[in-house]
């Protein structure tokens, strides 16, 4: 089946996106197209029309506010990721957040997938306390948090036909992130090494994908988190050829 990769892009996190993309391509053993998932492009293509407001919290932090969800979006791809099956059209399509670091070959994540499943993801039990993360963004709790941060979509699966433009543009984000259009039996489980949540996952795991979900090492307060040195080394590789 056709394979494709989409990486969430947010202009506020350009360095993080560059690290994610560069580390994917550096380890990639197969010819799989890698795309940036860019909100402005989706809006101009009339695929994404969820209303967004820009607000300032009482603490003075600027946030993007999704009015349908009545909740903030920490990144521009918070809900745009659910358009990936429509963009890819066929085969298996991987979406990954832009704050990830690859330490191995992402092509292996596609191996051995069961076509009877509509999606595959790491099924985290991630319940961080509410508060502030990243660059002043709000940390929210919701069911199946971070399941959709690294998710393989079976674009040809019948169940994913329910993931329509209307659904994506009208449902609260918390419903989309809990994979509300699927039965539990249609959700496959990936090995936890494919989405290691820095500061949350079992440190005994040897991750292929390191996810700086609370904040990347270039953000104040996150300079010394796990795998920060590897993240900075990857960034230095990029800067060395620019």
* pLDDT value of residue 241: 83
Mean of all residue pLDDT scores within the chain: 93
The dihedral over CA atoms of 171, 141, 8, 105, expressed in degrees to the nearest 10, equals -130
- What does the domain layout of the chain look like in residue ranges? 3-241
* pLDDT value of residue 56: 87
Residue 158 CB burial class (10 angstroms; 0-12, 13-18, ≥19): exposed
* pLDDT value of residue 189: 98
Banded model confidence at residue 191, pLDDT cuts 50, 70, 90:
very high
Banded model confidence at residue 125, pLDDT cuts 50, 70, 90:
confident
Per-residue pLDDT reduced to its tens digit, 34-86:
999 999 999 999 999 999 999 987 777 788 999 999 999 989 999 999 999 99
Q: Which whole number is the average pLDDT over 185-189?
A: 98
Per-residue pLDDT reduced to its tens digit, 3-38:
999 999 999 999 999 999 999 999 999 999 999 999
The pTM of the whole model exceeds 0.85: yes
Whether 202 shows a pLDDT value over 70: the answer reads yes
* pLDDT value of residue 137: 46
Whether 162 shows a pLDDT value over 60: the answer reads yes
CATH classification code of 3-241:
3.90.550.10
Whether 163 shows a pLDDT value over 50: the answer reads yes
Per-residue pLDDT reduced to its tens digit, 95-117:
999 999 999 999 999 999 999 99
């Amino acid at each position: 089946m056709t394979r494709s990769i989409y990486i969430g892009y947010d202009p506020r996190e350009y360095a993080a996106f560059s690290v994610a993309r560069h580390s994917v391509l550096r380890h990639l053993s197969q010819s799989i197209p890698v795309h940036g998932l860019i909100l402005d492009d989706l809006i101009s293509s009339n695929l994404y029309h969820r209303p967004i407001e820009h607000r300032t919290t009482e603490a003075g932090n600027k946030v993007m506010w999704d009015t349908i969800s009545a909740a903030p979006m920490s990144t521009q791809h918070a809900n745009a990721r659910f358009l990936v099956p429509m963009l890819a059209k066929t085969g298996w399509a991987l979406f990954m957040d832009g704050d990830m670091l690859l330490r191995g070959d992402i092509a292996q994540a596609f191996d051995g997938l069961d076509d009877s499943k509509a999606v595959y993801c790491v099924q985290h039990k991630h319940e961080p306390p509410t508060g502030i993360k990243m660059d002043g963004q709000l940390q929210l709790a919701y069911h199946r948090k971070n399941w959709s941060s690294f998710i393989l979509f079976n674009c040809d699966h019948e169940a994913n036909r329910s993931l329509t433009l209307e659904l994506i543009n009208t449902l609260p984000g918390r419903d989309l992130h809990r994979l509300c259009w699927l039965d539990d039996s249609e959700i496959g489980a990936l090995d936890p090494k494919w989405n290691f949540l820095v500061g949350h996952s079992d440190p005994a795991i040897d991750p292929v994908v390191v996810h700086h979900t609370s904040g990347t090492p270039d953000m104040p307060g996150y300079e010394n988190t796990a795998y920060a040195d590897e993240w900075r080394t990857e960034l230095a590789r990029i800067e060395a050829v620019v």
